[in-house]
Amino acid sequence: MASKDRHHIAQYPVAQTDLGWGPGAGTWNYRKVPEPVLSSLLATVANPNTIGSVDIIDFQPQTEQSSEDRHIVQDWAFQNGTWKFLAVFDGGQPQRQIVRLTRHLLITLVAPQVTRGVRP
């Protein structure tokens, strides 16, 4: 999102929410951005994609940074059919390295073991 878009967002009022957690849980600020501006901005930062039959987005509101989140979308073939394996990993600090390792291990070590171990 270009800096002019950030400035554009700044014109909308700030509100607060407790995300339904209730008193004492804290509050989070957000901007009340109206439609169709909100949909347009979301399309800009969502990076929509389709992998096989799965629609995904890579939502990173801090556009000066790349997303630290990771995902896996794979079809695992078994003797009795195909299973779809889906995983989403929250890669924010400090777990960025753990997310990369977990994703790598699931794909390279776990998937082959699972596909070999399932019998019809």
pTM of the model as a whole: 0.54
**Which residue in this structure is represented by tokens 């019998």?**
119
User: Containing domain of residue 32, as a range?
Assistant: 1-46
Burial level of 46, CB count in 10 A (0-12/13-18/19+)?
A: middle
Are residues 58 and 91 in contact, defined by beta-carbon separation less than 8 angstroms?
no
Are residues 12 and 33 in contact, defined by beta-carbon separation less than 8 angstroms?
yes
The structural domain count of the chain equals 2
Which pLDDT tens digit goes with each residue over 14-69? 999 999 998 888 888 988 999 998 888 887 777 788 988 899 887 766 556 666 77
User: Are 27 and 74 contained in the same domain?
Assistant: no
User: Are 37 and 85 contained in the same domain?
Assistant: no
- Cα–Cα nearest to 37, from 7, 64, 8, 2: 8
User: Are 36 and 56 contained in the same domain?
Assistant: no
User: Are 35 and 90 contained in the same domain?
Assistant: no
Which pLDDT tens digit goes with each residue over 81-111? 888 888 888 766 667 778 778 888 888 888 7
User: Are 96 and 38 contained in the same domain?
Assistant: no
User: Are 17 and 72 contained in the same domain?
Assistant: no
